[in-house]
Structure 1
Amino acid sequence: MIKRCPQHGLFRGEHCECGSSGQLLLDDAKTEQLGRLVAGCLRHFPADLGLPMDGRGWVDLNKLCQVVASRHRWADRELIVALVSSDSKHRYEIRGDKVRARYGHSVDVQLDHPENRLARLYYGASEEEADRILEIGIKPASQRYVHLSTTPEKAWHVATFRTGNPRVIQVDAAAAQASGVKMMTVSDDIVISEMIPAEFLGIMRSQDIHRQDL
């Protein structure tokens, strides 16, 4: 659910960090409905909805509101902005009268986030996926870019959603970027990348994943 605290603004969940129960804007069901439609508009099928998108993934916010309202009459501009602005995973951003998804696209976009500065990055996979990846590299599957984690712990956590036997692949990001692979920082947790050749990859030992000095 999405609520508004009179002191701290938008938040998700029952209570703001200050303890306020806040004003309810969207319950869980409507947050889910609106979230799925906005994700489709900004990541996957804007053209099917008559929503023009530029090469960087930006769309007109007013046009997005019109498209959404045509399917959910209760979803006005305030609620759409609340959904986008309160997203804890920083999936979206608004600049002026434009809005876009920051990552997760299946449509062909050329994003322009800051260049990655971390020397090492991490990718979570199943045991079977890891064996294959070490042979052929990491390629985008259903998304435009490969999504990497900034710590091995985060990569492990991501992989647990897909497999009960996760593996973490370490990426020599510095060497990959020096060779011409484009990597961009999306958030403190996520870096997106073009295809990463196998020569920059290595499997991590399980006992090393949770070491504090990584």
Structure 2
Amino acid sequence: MSVEELPELALCCDDSIVEGRSGCACRAKAVLPGGMRVRLSKTLAGILRHHPGRYGVRLSRDGWARVRDVVEGLRRAGWGWVEEWHVVGVALHDPKGRYELKEGLIRARYGHSIPVKVEPLPGEPPPTLYHGTTEERVELIMEKGIVRGRRLKVHLTSSLEDAIDTGLRHGSSVAVLVVDVECLKKRGLRVEKMSRTVYTVDWVPPECIVEVRRPGRGRSL
């Protein structure tokens, strides 16, 4: 499911948070509609990855912020309706595992442009990973490789669907780069698992891009 098409979140009478009010074992006390959930998720990502100071939020060295501080920052910025359960629910049910919760704290697991240190999850990457981009960028990437840009790391995914979704956020002419993980390892590049499907690396050299897929066009390079 695309991040643009998320179902509603429901706060149940037992204080559990589920996707869809029908998932409550008892009645739903409150509901966050899917569209508002998407908007909140995008804003939350901006706070925890790029500009916490705009919302008066402080991050620890490893990226943690207090959920209460995030809620207060959102309210000051015009999100007066936001409650803690909204933020917790968005993080708990994020389809890509963008967020992590711990004892009243929250952080983004990847995607940062500000210096934080988030430890990787255990587990080896699959042999092949993907990177979504646009047709216009392919020529330069095949010359220079995949570089970090404004982020701390290059982001790859084990999900072809997610790679296509990423490409669509940048334009309509989607290209998916297929990356050989063994090639990265042979060049001393460490691939780290940051969520269920997301992996990060410092750089992807051109020679480690083994294929360019063009979804819907039936051809590859």
Fold in common (TM above 0.5): yes
Partner of 1:86: 93
Query: Matched residues in 1 for 2:179 and 2:168: separation?
Result: 19
Distance verdict in 2 for CA 1:6–1:163, change over 3 Å: same
Is residue 108 of structure 1 aligned with residue 115 of structure 2?
A: yes
Deviation, structure 1 residue 136: 0.2
1:34 aligns with 2:40: yes
Unaligned runs of 5+ in 2: 1-7
For residue 32 of structure 1, report the CA deviation from its aligned partner.
4.4
* TM-score with structure 2 setting the length: 0.76
Select which of 194, 197, 200 maps to 2:202: 194
Asked if the contact 2:12–2:27 (Cα under 8 Å) also holds between the matched residues in 1, the reply is yes
Deviation of 1:61 after TM superposition, in Å, equals 2.7
1:185 aligned partner: 193
Q: Is the 8 A contact 2:62 2:117 kept in 1?
A: yes
Amino acid in structure 2 at the alignment position of 1:31: R
Q: Distance in 2 between matches of 1:116 and 1:54?
A: 27
Rounded to whole Å, the distance in 2 between the matches of 1:30 and 1:126 is: 28
SS in 2 for 1:128: helix
Paired residue total: 208
Structure 1 residue 191, shift from structure 2 partner? 1.5
Work out whether 1:63 is the aligned partner of 2:63.
no
Deviation per CA, 1:69-124: give whole Å up to 9, x if none. 33333322233222222222222111123210112222222321126422221112
Could you state the TM-score of these two structures normalised by the residue count of structure 1? 0.78
Kept in 2, the 8 Å contact 1:167–1:203? The answer is no
In structure 1, runs of 5+ residues without a counterpart are: none
**Residue 48 of structure 1: aligned partner:** 54
Structure 2 CA distance for aligned equivalents of residues 179 and 84 of structure 1: 35
| Contact 1:116/1:191 (8 A) holds in 2 | no
Cα deviation 1:140-195 (Å, max 9, x = unaligned): 23433222121445434432443443332221212313433232223332222222
- SS in structure 1 of the partner of residue 170 of structure 2: coil
1:12 aligns with 2:19: yes
Counterpart of 2:86 in 1: which secondary structure? Answer: helix
Alpha-carbon RMSD across the aligned residues, in angstroms, is: 3.2
SS of 2:138's equivalent? Answer: helix
Distance in 1 separating the partners of 2:35 and 2:125: 39
One-letter amino acid of the counterpart of residue 166, structure 1: V
Amino acid at match of 1:132: L
Q: Deviations over 1:188-208 (max 9, x none)?
A: 32222222222222224669x
Tell me how far apart the structure 1 counterparts of residues 20 and 98 of structure 2 sit (CA, whole Å): 18
How many percent of aligned residue pairs carry the same amino acid? 25
The code of the aligned residue for 2:99 comes to Y
